[in-house]
Amino acid sequence: MSTADSTTRICLIGNPHKPDVPAAFERIRAWLAQRPVRLTAELDGEAALRLAEPHDLVIVLGGDGTILRIAGLLGERQAPICGVNMGKLGYLAEYSVDDLHRHFDRIVGDARLVSHRMMLDVETQAPGAAAQRRIACNDCVIQAGPPYRMIEMSLRLDGDEVTRLTGDGLILATPTGSTAHNLSSGGPILQPDVQATIVTPICPHSLTLRPVVVGPDAVVEVVALRSNEGTAAVIDGQLSTPFPTGARIVARRSATTFKLIRHPDLPAWKTLIRKLSWGHGPTR
C-alpha cells in the first residue's frame, strides 16, 4: 500500500446543482491543496475530465447520478472514482466528507479498495442514421415513450433470435445496475464483481417472459419491430437516443471497467442491507 505523493494526480469534481456541494467543494479543495498531490479542481469538471492527462483518482461530490455522469464522461479512460454522498440514496457514493479525510491515505494507496466492475459497450443504429456508440455503467433501458402504446422487439443472443416480446420496454443491465431500474422491474440482484448482463423485460404482455442473466461474452441484440414516436434507448438514465421501428441495439461487455472505491468499513453486502433494506423480515 502506497500513500499520496507529488506524482499522484487527483481530480476533484462536484455537482453544482446540489445545495451543499459548493461549500464542501471549497473546503475539500483547500484541504487537498495542502497535501503533496497534483490537483485539478473544477466544480462542474467536464473540461478537466477531457484533459489528455489521465488521473489516478477522481473525487466526486454528489449522488449516484453524478457518479454515473462522470463515469460516462471518462469513457474508455476510466480512473478510480471516490464518491462523496451529497445526494439522497448514495448507493455508489459511500463516503461522507469526514470519511474522505479519515481514509484518504487508503483511498489513494490501497488498491484492494478498488472494485472493478463490468461495463457495457452499447451501439445504437437507426435506419438511415450513423451508428452511435456509448458506454453504460448501469444500464441501457429501452422505454416505450409517448403515446405509451406497447412496443414490439426482437431479442437476439449471439446472433440467434430467442424471442419476440411486446411490452413497455427492455432493460440491459450490468451487475452494478442490477440494483437500479432492473431491481424496480423485478430483475435479479447481482454481486458487483460478477461478469454478466441482465436482460429484464418491462411489463411484458406475457406470463412466461422473465428476466435472464447471460454470460460475459454474450452479444445481446435488440431490434425494434414496432415503436412509438417517443420510444428511446436511455444510457444510465442520462443519455437518450431515439429508437424508432427498424432500429437496433447491440450490447456487449466493454473492454473498460468501472472503478469504484469501496468504503473500507463497509462489508460488501452492507450497503444493500442498509440502504435498500434487503433481507429485512416483517415488522409489527
Pairing of strands 57-62, 9-14: parallel
Q: DSSP character for 217?
A: T
In the chain the beta strands, taken as DSSP E runs, fall at: 9-14, 38-42, 57-62, 81-85, 114-125, 132-136, 139-143, 151-157, 160-167, 169-173, 197-202, 212-214, 220-226, 232-235, 239-242, 248-261
C-alpha atoms less than 13 angstroms from C-alpha of 273 in its C-beta half-sphere: 8
- Single out the residue of 65, 77, 99, 27 nearest to residue 262, CA to CA: 99
- The beta strands (E) that lie in 126-247 are given as 132-136, 139-143, 151-157, 160-167, 169-173, 197-202, 212-214, 220-226, 232-235, 239-242
Q: What per-residue string of b and e applies to 7-28 under the rule 16 or more CB within 10 Å gives b?
A: ebbbbbbbbeebeebeebbeeb
Question: Which amino acid is residue 261, in one-letter code?
Answer: I
Catalytic residues: 64
Is residue 189 within 8 A of residue 177, CB to CB? The reply is no
Do the beta carbons of residue 236 and residue 75 sit within 8 Å? Answer: no
